[in-house]
Amino acid sequence: MDGAHSAGLQLQPLPPTSGATSTSLSSSEGSFSYKENLIGALLAIFGHLVVSIALNLQKYCHIRLAGSKDPRAYFKTKTWWLGLLLLLLGELGVFASYAFAPLSLIVPLSAVSVIASAIIGIIFIKEKWKPKDFVRRYVLSFVGCGLAIVGTYLLVTFAPNSHEKMTGENIARHLVSWPFLLYMLVAIVLFCLLLYFYKERNANSIVVILLLVALLGSMTVVTVKAVSGMLVLSIQGNLQLDYPIFYVMVVCMVATAIYQATFLSEASQIYDSSLIASVGYILSTTAAITAGAIFYLDFLGEEALHICMFALGCLIAFLGVFLITRNRKKAIPFEPYISMDAMPGMQDMHAKGTTVQPDLKASFSYGALESNDSISELYTPATLPVMQEEHSSRSTPGVPYRVLEHTKKE
């Protein structure tokens, strides 16, 4: 009886508990987040790599046509157009990467372009080096590339996993949240102060200029992620283009990008490009990560260990970029001089002991520049009177010659 009863019994599977359900959901969400992070990171790395190749191709084309009489001869070359197409393709890849991965992950990956430029530059130099001299010359570049690669790996591995859909409602909600409004208030006040000191007080320090660029850049990447995410959702079928916030973000993106390029152009006229690249990368990345953490709540709910490892990856990438750019050769600007033989009467002036250019600082010689460490010198005309000289028993009035008096903008 008991055997028949027991044979008739069938074991029923127990329903999953709520804890098991939440665990399976969290694991699936974590796997999905990691896949999106990986897609975004690969798109960003691919985009920055292609952009670096494109810029070097265009630079190579300009160098080859440097002596051409036609200033637009590069338009007729296939190399320049290939560089332009690659540049557009790379920028499209970087733009699309913001739709898949958090802003805090995509922004630091711009170090890939610095690594690629360093390697391409070594290849294009085509100089014959002895192995010992080659290692000595490029040791900082190799160490910097290694550190930047390690930092990039840590960034991808410990990146935040926030993947909120970029719908119009979510973006509008983040835009009016009090943390972002407070950040905007602080950023606007700081930007106005820096702009005042830069324009009115002539405080043209590289930190001041690149802080202006970084503050504008932080808003640029915030708007780029919003626009990119809404476009991807619209392509997937969830139309977002009918939200006014989309067009507000587009206008802010274009405006901040234009002013950012303006300040970068002004900085390039004063400072070396390698210094701008290293300092600008550090300041812009820090400002962009801060803005993304506040606007998109990238690090909300993340473990402290992950945040610390992500910060360590940023610091290692910063150090790598600094070492790469520090190893670049600085271009030696053209040093103008005055030919003494080309000026009639100069020999007589020196023979009579007449001073052509007074030596105020006891360190300035005629025909030489006082300082030559930057290409941003400003030249102001100065008139030197020339004494009269007799030619064939006839006196002719001396003609004042104009030379360039060298002054450097502090």
pLDDT higher than threshold 70 for residue 29: no
Render pLDDT for 69-88 as a digit per residue (tens, 0 to 9). 777 777 888 888 898 899 89
pLDDT in tens, 307-336: 999 999 999 999 999 998 876 655 444 444
pLDDT at position 80 is 84
Residue type, 257: A
172 Cβ contact partners less than 8 Å away, ≥ 6 residues apart: 243, 245
0.85 exceeded by pTM: no
Yes or no: say if 158 and 309 are a contact pair by the CB < 8 Å rule: yes
* Other beta carbons within 10 Å of 30: 11
Report residue 56's pLDDT band, with 50, 70 and 90 as the boundaries: confident
Maximum alpha-carbon separation in the chain: 150
pLDDT band at 203 (very low <50, low <70, confident <90, very high): confident
**pLDDT classification of 207: cutoffs 50, 70, 90:** very high
Intra-chain end-to-end CA distance of the chain, in Å? 105
Say if residue 250's pLDDT is above 90: yes
Alpha-carbon span 271 to 273, nearest angstrom = 6
pLDDT in tens, 94-136: 999 999 988 889 999 998 988 888 888 777 766 566 777 777 7
Is a pLDDT exceeding 50 seen at residue 367?
no
Residue with tokens 């292609």: 50
